[in-house]
Amino acid sequence: MNTNTDIKKTVREKYAEIANQSKEQNLSSCCGATGCGGDEVYNIMADDYSKLEGYNPDADLGLGCGLPTEFARIKEGDIVIDLGSGAGNDAFIARRFVGTKGKVIGVDFTEPMIRRARENAEKLGLNNVEFRLGDIEDMPVTANKADVIVSNCVLNLVPNKHKVFSEIYRVLKPGGHFSISDIVLEGPLPAKWKEIAELYAGCVSGAIQKKQYLSIIEEAGFKNISLQKDKTVIIPDEILANYLHADEIAEYKKGETRIASITVYAEKPGKDERNCCEPGSGCC
């Protein structure tokens, strides 16, 4: 996977396959990627949504790595956008907060996921939850639209993270904010993992360093950046054994690499103070 196009193709193919799997199949693998192995159902990344009001089991594919909607400070009447909305799990939780006066828009670039989410919304009879097919690096949403943006274990899969956070800034209203759960690293990731498609679609190999991740958010112009959650992710030996030899696993374990699930909060200033050039110039 040498180009952004190759990476996107891999992720799209994997998540199209995942859309047709059960939650049980996804939980027994690497964040939903098939072929990770292990007979025991072991949910590596995701937190438990089942006790949250608005939870819909049909929309929960076990693909998340946090509970961003729980931290997102969503109010009644808000317009919320869920990036990489999958089968609609976070969107339906967000709908509980916005009520009938608000709106939730899910964006996903995998057609089978969009179909499944729309089917779930129809079953629930929700007329203010919408799912749009599109790339979150170029969102099918007008500027200054959203009060809140959420995303759950998706941005680590996107090759151009600068572009995504630039899009988030564009789409948020002045004074709006986001709460995003994602996978990040502290320390070097074994080079071999970068070439493994299953682990890429499984949220690990696409992750970047935590400091770099937070720096990208700051560079995009966001303020009041804070970590709402920071949890170490432990990958079981039976899954690592599908990709690494015993000596490689031992080397990884004694190394300084930490895989973490974080939930980040940040706000778009009420006034743009980024010293940009004229609109349309491409400076910001």
Per-residue model confidence as pLDDT tens digits over 25-67:
444 444 444 444 433 323 445 555 555 555 555 555 555 677 8
Domains with residue ranges and CATH for the chain: 4-267 (3.40.50.150)
- pLDDT score of 1: 45
Residue 52 has what pLDDT? 58
d(CA 143, CA 62): 31
Helix, strand and coil percent figures for the chain, each rounded to 5: 35, 20, 45
Over the stretch 132-172, which tens digit does the pLDDT of each residue have?
Answer: 999 999 999 999 999 999 999 889 888 899 999 999 999 99
Other Cβ atoms closer than 10 A to 2:
6
What is the model's pLDDT at position 237? 82
Of the candidates 117, 64, 56, 125, the one whose C-alpha atom is nearest the C-alpha of residue 86 is 117
Smallest CA-to-CA distance from 257 within 209, 186, 194 is with 186
Task: Please choose, from the candidates 9, 60, 42, the residue with its C-alpha nearest in 3D space to the C-alpha of residue 242.
Answer: 42
Contacts of residue 260, defined as CB under 8 A and 6 or more positions apart, other chains included, come to: 183, 184, 185, 186, 210, 230, 231, 232, 233
Asked if 110 and 92 count as a contact pair (C-beta separation under 8 A), the reply is no
Predicted TM-score of the model (pTM): 0.80
C-alpha torsion sign, points 128, 61, 171, 11: negative
Query: How far is it, in rounded angstroms, from Cα 77 to Cα 137?
Result: 26
- In the structure, what pLDDT confidence band is assigned to residue 15 with cuts at 50, 70 and 90? low
